[in-house]
Chain A
Amino acid sequence: MKAVSTIRGRAIPLGLKNVDTDVIIPAHWLKTISREGLGKGAFETIRATPGNPFDVEDFAGAPILIAGDNFGCGSSREHAAWAMLDMGLTAVIAPSFSDIFAGNAFKNGILAVELPQEQVDRLLEVAKDEQIAVDLENQVVTTPFQDRFEFQIDPFRKRCLLEGLDEIGLTLGSESEITRHEQVREGAMPWLDKPSRRDAA
């Protein structure tokens, strides 16, 4: 994972609630066997609507998206995070996120920043004309108008993001604990191991 620190730039003021993963990337884009190139399909149905914020020239290449409650609800498709990354988005600000999307965003170095609705409303207003900055190290979102909105983030995720850590590499550091767990499990719950297919009774 690439290390992330501060993301500064224009923010697309989408504002919608319950933006589901079928909206972020419709299923017909999921037939790919690659992680690349999904930006073309990102927010396809919204972008097909005239006057949508993605079409506004000022927001071309914007690194931040501002949305409503429950962003990323629905499917577990990581294609949603890949599609956003491919269109240049590296941070999303919303009052809440679905659990699975938040995890997928994190794994791809996209900051999912939770702020209360009134602060999100303020940022939606500011974003129309001005840049916004998301500072991960100090856990704060700032605007050119002295707004300073602090956010919470899981300390493990913060460290991984700041240091660009490979999570699998980290886990493999616990190899001996995993092996020990497997040995105890094999003794206590042997039925969980090596399920072999038999002919059904």
Chain B
Amino acid sequence: MFGAMASKPRTLYEKIWDQHVVERFDDGTCLIYIDRHLVHEVTSPQAFDALRLAGRTVRRPDLTLAVPDHNLPTTARLAPDGSRVPIADPQSAAQLAALERNAPAFGIDYIDAIAPEQGIVHVVGPEQGFSLPGATIVCGDSHTAAHGGIGALAFGIGTSEVEHVLATQTLQLRQSKTMEVRAEGELGPGVTPKDLILHIIGVIGTAGGTGHVIEYRGHVFEEMSVEGRLTVCNMSIEGGARAGLIAPDDKVFAYLAGRPYAPAGDDWDRAMEWWRSLSTDAGASFDRSVVIDAADVEPTVSWGTSPEDVVAVSGAVPSPDSFADPSKQDAARKSLDYMDLAPGTPIEDIAVENVFIGSCTNSRIEDLRAAAEILKGRKKAPNVRWAIAVPGSGLVKRQAEAEGLDRIFTEAGFEWREPGCSACLAMNPDKVPPGERCASTSNRNFVGRQGPGARTHLVSPAMAAAAAVTGRLADVRKFAPCQEVGG
């Protein structure tokens, strides 16, 4: 089970999979051990209730970590007198209270809404060193794929599976097919990991990775920061793949060293031995391979209501007739109708009333720095009604404030918020009004995703900042950082 069974070359995914097989069944199903389980308030209450009903306990509370994020308002959580600000929505309050009750009742570590470590579960996991290379990580949220950025096998699960992991620390799974997305060359100026993953989803399609685990390989990913890798892997699910991962390297190890839940001392040294073996063997084969030339990737924007509906910012809204597939033509017509866009409209002519910088895709410190670099010394355009910057965790927020980024955001006309999922998914007070458009650093442009009738354009943090300044979707490459005058 552990160690020397490698007779044929294996991919990184296959190595992690093999190491976690508890039992193989005749029908091809495997019982897979889960190393880390992250829990949030939305997809867990029914699982805890079902455990209670069946008289079951949590098998490994020590491998489980709970943090609220989806429902939590991003406005101030403490009143000036230090008391907790109550959650206005009674349903949200009840759901948050359920997690606050369930976690200690089942012996699970719980990061409270006002703790400095609180944040979006996929920001918190790596930041706390709870997520580790080579580990199997699950959470009742499809963007769990993000943790693949540190070399983990991480994927989203439904509530029945949350219950299954709580009760057994395992899942019944079938091994996925493997897909390699190789990006070679160099990303151009102004082109970020977000642009790259949007471009990749445009190439493979929103169902392109279904049934597969993606390994992102090649020079571009080797050069990429750990936070950039988290962004890329995060959106694997938008390409249909339940998980995406990147081989861990020294950047990952340096990122994890000293984190609160990360191993230390002898444990760290032993862990490093295993982590260093975590890469795809020479000669291992993938079921599918896609090659991206980094030079082809421009700052990328979504125009429709599926994450595969993307175009370079220098381009125009496509005509439905430009698609070969008749069902795609039909979908594009519906998308354009919902988005209120005419074919042929230059992307840079599209005005936005809202800008959202945040979400598990783009709310880490590098994201906030990239946006602040564009915003520094500038102000949001008058037609931008609402602009918010929502750090991914309390620690990201604290770091950003130490660097003075909060002032750059607020001076540019942004609201500086408390950590949470915010306007990514319209289940807390941060919503985009019907019929309005939002340049958003989040991950989904689905119909109604940011609020009923809201129109989402997915972009990178720098592009969101550029959109805020111009009041339209804008090409960040035309923005030199503002020159400081007289220091």
Which residue of A98, A155, A195 is within 8 Å of B207 (Cβ)?
A: A98
Binary interface encoding of chain B residues 121-160 relative to chain A, with 1 for a CB under 8 A from any of its CBs, else 0? 0000000111010010000111010000000000011111
Binary interface encoding of chain A residues 2-31 relative to chain B, with 1 for a CB under 8 A from any of its CBs, else 0? 000000000000001110101100111011
- In the bound complex, do residue B271 and residue A189 qualify as a contact, i.e. CB atoms below 8 Å apart? yes
Assess A171 versus B158: contact at CB under 8 Å? Given A69-B327, A98-B240. no
Q: State the Cβ distance, A173 to closest chain B Cβ, in Å.
A: 10
- In the bound complex, do residue A96 and residue B207 qualify as a contact, i.e. CB atoms below 8 Å apart? yes
- Which A144-201 residues sit within 8 Å CB-CB of chain B? 154-156, 159, 167-168, 170-172, 174, 177-178, 181-182, 184-185, 188-201
- A56 at interface (Cβ–Cβ under 8 A)? no
Give the segment of A57-65, A85-93, A102-110, A132-140 that binds chain B: A102-110
- In the bound complex, do residue A76 and residue B43 qualify as a contact, i.e. CB atoms below 8 Å apart? yes
- Which B313-361 residues sit within 8 Å CB-CB of chain A? 327-328, 331
- In the bound complex, do residue B132 and residue A192 qualify as a contact, i.e. CB atoms below 8 Å apart? yes
- In the bound complex, do residue B268 and residue A191 qualify as a contact, i.e. CB atoms below 8 Å apart? yes
- Which B236-267 residues sit within 8 Å CB-CB of chain A? 237, 240, 242, 257-264, 267
- In the bound complex, do residue A193 and residue B158 qualify as a contact, i.e. CB atoms below 8 Å apart? no
CB contacts (< 8 Å) of B168 on chain A: these are 168, 171-172, 178
Which residue of B129, B130, B156, B328 is within 8 Å of A100 (Cβ)?
A: B156
- In the bound complex, do residue B327 and residue A17 qualify as a contact, i.e. CB atoms below 8 Å apart? yes
Complex CA gap A17/B330 in Å reads: 9
- In the bound complex, do residue A197 and residue B260 qualify as a contact, i.e. CB atoms below 8 Å apart? yes
- In the bound complex, do residue A191 and residue B156 qualify as a contact, i.e. CB atoms below 8 Å apart? no
- In the bound complex, do residue A75 and residue B141 qualify as a contact, i.e. CB atoms below 8 Å apart? yes
Complex CA gap A130/B271 in Å reads: 61
Q: State the Cβ distance, B277 to closest chain A Cβ, in Å.
A: 12
- B181 at interface (Cβ–Cβ under 8 A)? no
CB contacts (< 8 Å) of B242 on chain A: these are 99-100
- In the bound complex, do residue A192 and residue B35 qualify as a contact, i.e. CB atoms below 8 Å apart? yes
CB contacts (< 8 Å) of B331 on chain A: these are 16-18
- A70 at interface (Cβ–Cβ under 8 A)? yes
Assess A35 versus B46: contact at CB under 8 Å? Given A156-B172, A177-B31, A195-B62. yes
- B27 at interface (Cβ–Cβ under 8 A)? yes
- B206 at interface (Cβ–Cβ under 8 A)? yes
CB contacts (< 8 Å) of A189 on chain B: these are 2, 270-271, 274
CB contacts (< 8 Å) of B159 on chain A: these are 78, 104
Q: How large is the interface on A (under 10, 10 to 19, 20 to 34, 35 or more residues)?
A: 35 or more
Assess A81 versus B446: contact at CB under 8 Å? Given A32-B91, A168-B168, A178-B22. no
- In the bound complex, do residue A200 and residue B259 qualify as a contact, i.e. CB atoms below 8 Å apart? yes
Complex CA gap A30/B46 in Å reads: 11
- In the bound complex, do residue A31 and residue B71 qualify as a contact, i.e. CB atoms below 8 Å apart? yes
- In the bound complex, do residue A107 and residue B161 qualify as a contact, i.e. CB atoms below 8 Å apart? yes
- B370 at interface (Cβ–Cβ under 8 A)? no
- A53 at interface (Cβ–Cβ under 8 A)? no
Complex CA gap A177/B25 in Å reads: 12
CB contacts (< 8 Å) of B306 on chain A: these are 18, 20
CB contacts (< 8 Å) of B132 on chain A: these are 191-192
- B203 at interface (Cβ–Cβ under 8 A)? no
Complex CA gap A194/B62 in Å reads: 5
CB contacts (< 8 Å) of A170 on chain B: these are 172
- In the bound complex, do residue A69 and residue B2 qualify as a contact, i.e. CB atoms below 8 Å apart? no
- In the bound complex, do residue A198 and residue B260 qualify as a contact, i.e. CB atoms below 8 Å apart? yes
Complex CA gap A191/B156 in Å reads: 23
Give the segment of B9-17, B92-100, B284-292, B472-480 that binds chain A: B92-100
Minimal Cβ-Cβ distance residue in A for B208: A70
CB contacts (< 8 Å) of A22 on chain B: these are 425, 444, 446-449
Binary interface encoding of chain B residues 84-116 relative to chain A, with 1 for a CB under 8 A from any of its CBs, else 0? 000001011011001000000000010000000
- In the bound complex, do residue B158 and residue A107 qualify as a contact, i.e. CB atoms below 8 Å apart? yes
Complex CA gap A73/B271 in Å reads: 36
CB contacts (< 8 Å) of A172 on chain B: these are 167-168
- In the bound complex, do residue A200 and residue B22 qualify as a contact, i.e. CB atoms below 8 Å apart? no
- In the bound complex, do residue A73 and residue B240 qualify as a contact, i.e. CB atoms below 8 Å apart? yes
- B29 at interface (Cβ–Cβ under 8 A)? yes
Assess A34 versus B427: contact at CB under 8 Å? Given A69-B327, A99-B242, A171-B164. no
CB contacts (< 8 Å) of B240 on chain A: these are 70, 73, 98-99
Which residue of B157, B167, B261, B264 is within 8 Å of A76 (Cβ)?
A: B157
CB contacts (< 8 Å) of A17 on chain B: these are 327-328, 331
- In the bound complex, do residue B260 and residue A27 qualify as a contact, i.e. CB atoms below 8 Å apart? no
- A52 at interface (Cβ–Cβ under 8 A)? no
CB contacts (< 8 Å) of A182 on chain B: these are 33, 169
A-B pairs with beta carbons under 8 Å apart, 17 shown: A22-B449, A33-B94, A45-B447, A45-B452, A76-B156, A78-B140, A78-B158, A107-B161, A154-B28, A171-B170, A172-B168, A174-B22, A174-B31, A181-B1, A182-B169, A185-B2, A200-B260
The 9 closest A-B pairs by CB, nearest first: A201-B258, A191-B263, A107-B160, A78-B158, A76-B156, A31-B91, A27-B427, A104-B158, A33-B45
Q: A20-B444, A23-B447, A184-B1 are in contact. List 8 more A-B contacts (CB 8 A).
A: A20-B446, A31-B95, A73-B207, A99-B176, A156-B27, A156-B29, A191-B263, A197-B128
Question: Footprint of B on A, CB under 8 Å?
Answer: 16-18, 20, 22-23, 26-28, 30-35, 45, 68-70, 73-78, 81, 96-100, 103-104, 107-108, 154-156, 159, 167-168, 170-172, 174, 177-178, 181-182, 184-185, 188-201
